[in-house]
């Protein structure tokens, strides 16, 4: 389908050039740092969780367009969501990246702009770039109260 790849490239570049929710959150916000040494990507995730909801999320770091745009889209996708929804989204994204088998319960989870990253799955070395923010988010989630 010509055109779709261009659209996806446009979405990825837009998030790379104008990253959403960049910055930091003060403690007691959860904070996790992730590295992808293969590409030199670094992602920091700050997470403010209250009453089982993601109140706020900020990301910092640097790296390639795939890693940074994935982080930017992730912040938009998880902000204001319940922890349950966030975990389902993490699973859905990892299954799109062929890291996990898709659980049917998550099949309906909407990826939105994140679908722009589905082409990455064809380039195994870039999958680590795309999932870095999500792995870092998962680590930050473990620091929040259950
Ligand atoms: Zn990368």
pLDDT of 39-72, one tens digit each?
A: 999 999 999 999 999 999 999 999 999 999 999 9
Q: Which of 95, 97, 104 is nearest to 120 (CA)?
A: 97
Pairing of strands 30-36, 53-62: unpaired
Is residue 2 over pLDDT 60?
A: no
Give the Cβ contact number of residue 60 at 10 Å. 16
* Topology (CATH) of 2-141: Sufe protein. Chain: A (3.90.1010)
User: 145 C-alpha to center of ligand 1: Å?
Assistant: 31
The string of pLDDT tens digits covering residues 89-140 is 999 999 999 999 998 888 889 999 999 999 999 998 999 999 999 999 999 9
Q: How far is the CA of 65 from the centre of ligand 1 (A)?
A: 7
* Close Cβ partners of 48 (under 8 Å, ≥ 6 residues apart): 25, 29, 30, 54, 55, 56, 57
What letter does residue 21 receive in the DSSP assignment? Answer: T
> How much is the pTM?
0.94
In the reported structure, the alpha carbon of residue 143 is separated from the centroid of ligand 1 by a whole-number distance in angstroms of 25
What is the per-residue pLDDT for 4?
A: 77
105 CA to middle of ligand 1, Å?
Answer: 30
């Amino acid at each position: 389908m010509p055109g779709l790849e261009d659209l996806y490239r446009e979405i990825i570049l837009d998030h790379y050039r104008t990253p959403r929710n960049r910055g930091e959150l003060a403690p007691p916000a959860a904070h996790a740092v992730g590295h992808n040494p293969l590409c030199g990507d670094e992602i920091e995730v700050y997470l403010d969780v209250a009453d089982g909801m993601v109140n706020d999320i900020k990301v910092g770091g640097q790296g390639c367009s795939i890693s940074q745009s994935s982080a930017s889209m992730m912040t938009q996708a998880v902000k204001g969501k319940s922890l349950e929804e966030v975990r389902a989204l993490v699973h859905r994204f990892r299954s799109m990246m062929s890291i996990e088998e898709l659980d049917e319960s998550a099949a309906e989870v909407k990826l939105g702009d994140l679908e722009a990253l589905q082409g990455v799955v064809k380039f195994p070395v870039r999958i680590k770039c795309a999932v870095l923010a999500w792995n870092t988010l998962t680590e930050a989630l473990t620091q929040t109260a259950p």
